[in-house]
Structure 1
Amino acid sequence: DVEAARAERQRACLAADQARREYERARQLAAESIMSEDLLEKAESARDTSSAACKAAEAQEARFAAAVNLARVERRKTTLIAPFDGIIAELSVEVGEWTTPSPPGLPIPAVLDILDPSSIFISAPMDEVDSASIRADLPVRVTVDSHRGEEFPGMVTRVAPYVLDLVEQNRTVEVEVELENAEFAATLLPGTSADIEVILEERTDVLRIPTGALMEDNRVLVLVDGVLEERQLEIGLRNWNFTEARSGLSDGDKVVISLDRVEVADGAEAVEAGEDEE
């Protein structure tokens, strides 16, 4: 082991140091003709041999130390350390099971999935035709299936730099949104269904109608003195729920929103819903 190799290195190097000093004394004695050349050569040979043994012991210690470091590195690879604080969402192995790194081209399930509840965001596909209008920092309205009837403000944090072309859906651009209320976002379960509405522009104090009341070519039906009258509108901003009417309507006009029957047409007689007759 490393300790034994270190002790052997110390012993060999001490012996080499002793042999070197003995050679120096023998060389001085030989210079004074007190020691023979044969004894000097033996001292020199002992010095060289001891020096080589010291170097060999140092190399052996280094090899043992390298082996220990390698073993430590390999052991660290068997310990998974979470890169952040979170919650274990899924564990695919059990105690005692073996797992190996995924080989190239053959993905295998992760050992575990960790969720960070403090970094919940919404990922939504947007039609590619809208990609030129959407950018980071735009405000967003978010609705969540688990909180029906509520809207939550958010902001676009990322717009993907490419278009997804999947067989199952239209060509889309992935958009990421973060909610303004981080505490509320942390309560949402990952995977929860949500819808986003990116706000490109806002206007106040304008006339608006339900978007479902619009017919083809931006026409609507208005109830005037018991008769349906068709109007052509100039529209402005619109979303799934409401459409701005710039012209063609006045405040207080009664716009028809039930267009699912054939008899609902221009010139037909009608009464406002809630009256005795229809």
Structure 2
Amino acid sequence: MRIPKKIFVIGLIALVAISVFVFFQRSAPKQPEFTTVQKADIKQTVSISGSLAGQSSIDLKFPKGGKITSISVSEGDTVYEGQTLAALENTNEMITLQQADNTLRDKQAAVDKVLDDIHLSQYGMGGFDNVGSGNETMAQRQLRTAAEVTRDNAFDSLKLAQKALNDTLIISPTSGIVVQVNHVTGQVIGATEVVMKMVDTSNIYFSAEVDEADISKISLGQKTEVTLDAYPDKIWQGEVVEVQPQTKTTSTGATVVSVKIKLDRWDLNFINGLSGQASIILSEVKNTLTIPTEALRDDNTVLVLSDGRAKSKQIVPGIRSDQAVEIKEGLEENETIIIGKAF
């Protein structure tokens, strides 16, 4: 279907008009903005991304395979050092342990009997002052030594039986939080399978990566402010406690160095791996003159409004944040400055 000539011309004119309007809108010079020199606190920082972590993350597994008879915790549970978290079928191990304990008690009684007999003999041969190992006959010493060796072997067997029973248990090596449970009661597993994972929350850290170009600015003990994406309105204070002496390459090809920031406090339920950002404070000045970053020109000059006219002033800048620049010399508080081209 052919478009009528009149309609085509009208459409073409409208298109040209719109194009001209957009062009002039984009080409119109940006109007200058005005602000004043203000006193404020300013921090120079290195900003990095990372995630929340505990003191350590621990994979828990049985030293031997078998059938799981109990798992006494769930994901998110707080656990304590020495707490039993899971168990395998261990009837045989418990019987063996009881038998080993009985044997040890029997062999200890035999040692006690030998010593009583020796001491009684020595007493009869010279009174109380004659009792003691130094007055044993060779036959008595051999009898005592044999009884003690048998007793000691029984003790070693008891320790082995106790270890075999312990191998059927998962006991928490520290206090913390269970973050993952991989199996359920009744499953048969091998010795290499991770049954659950826990995080030691005795200390809370923010683990992050610093670009190699900034690593020379980072040192142990630097104060840090951490925010988490899940809690954008909260700020946690911390400090750099570890800078790994090894670089690594990210998936994007950047070379980075891992750092660890210890948080001063943690007042929420711990969730391992929460992402966030950290600002490592390189330097800080309180109650100093500042201007917006975009007001400072490349030659360290600032446009100041004086008697209705723009005047260029040379200044001495100090530290810089993402939004502001410290003014050491050249401006006074409440002076009006111009951002953008002068009129």
TM-score, length basis structure 2:
0.48
CA gap of 1:68–1:143, structure 2 versus 1, over 3 A, is: closer
- Aligned residues, how many? 216
Report the secondary structure of 1:71's partner residue: helix
Inter-partner Cα distance in structure 1 for 2:299 and 2:209: 27
Q: Give the corresponding residue for 1:122.
A: 206
Q: Residue in 2 aligned with 1:242?
A: 324
Give the structure, 1 or 2, with the largest relative contact order (CA under 8 Å, sep 6 or more).
2
Q: Which residue of 159, 164, 167 corresponds with 1:69?
A: 159
Partner of 2:179: 89
Could you tell me which of 192, 196, 206 is aligned with 1:112?
196
* Equivalent residue for 2:339, pick from 255, 258, 275: 255
Counterparts of 1:116 and 1:205 in 2: how far apart (Å)? 42
Within a 5 Å distance, the mapping from 1:136-175 to structure 2 comes to: 136-148=220-232, 150=233, 152-169=235-252, 170-175=254-259
Residue 81 of structure 1 aligns with an amino acid whose one-letter code is I
CA separation of 1:201/1:62 partners in 2, compared to 1, >3 Å: closer, same or farther?
Answer: closer
Q: Which amino acid aligns with 1:240?
A: D
> Does the 8 Å CA contact 2:302/2:315 hold for their aligned counterparts?
no
1:34 maps to what in 2?
A: none
Shift of 1:122: 0.9
Write the distance in 2 (CA, Å) between the matches of 1:161 and 1:64: 49
The structure with the larger Rg is 1
Matching residue of 1:263: none
Cα gap change, 1:64/1:155 in structure 2, threshold over 3 Å: closer, same or farther? closer
Structure with greater proportional strand content: 2
Cα 1:57–1:244, aligned 2, differ >3 Å: closer, same or farther? Answer: closer
Q: Aligned pair in 2 of structure 1 residues 121, 233: CA closer, same or farther (>3 Å)? A: same
Change (3 A) 1:233 1:125: farther
Distance 1:142 1:201 in 2: 16
Equivalent residues in 2 for 1:218-237 (5 A)? Answer: 235-237=317-319
Give 3-state SS (helix, strand or coil) of 1:162's partner. Answer: strand
Q: What is the Cα-based RMSD across aligned positions, in Å?
A: 4.5
> Which deviations, in whole Å up to 9, do the C-alpha atoms of 1:40-98 show, x marking residues without a partner?
xxxxxxxx9xxx99998987776555444312112112222212222211111222334
CA distance in 2, matches of 1:218, 1:192: 43
Q: Distance in 1 between matches of 2:103 and 2:329?
A: 96
Identity level (%): 21
Q: Does 1:131 align with 2:131?
A: no
Query: Which secondary structure state, in structure 1, belongs to the residue aligned with residue 244 of structure 2?
Result: coil
Q: Give the corresponding residue for 1:39.
A: none
SS of residue paired to 1:163: strand
Q: CA deviation at 1:253?
A: 0.6
The corresponding residue for 1:176 is 260
Q: TM-score, normalised by structure 1?
A: 0.57
Kept in 1, the 8 Å contact 2:239–2:263? The answer is no
* Contact 1:218–1:233 (8 Å) recurs in 2: no
Change in 2 beyond 3 A, CA 1:62/1:121: closer
Q: 1:140/1:55 Cα in 2 relative to 1: closer, same or farther (>3 Å)?
A: closer
Q: Against the structure 1 CA distance between its residues 78 and 128, is the aligned structure 2 distance closer, same or farther, given a 3 Å change threshold?
A: same
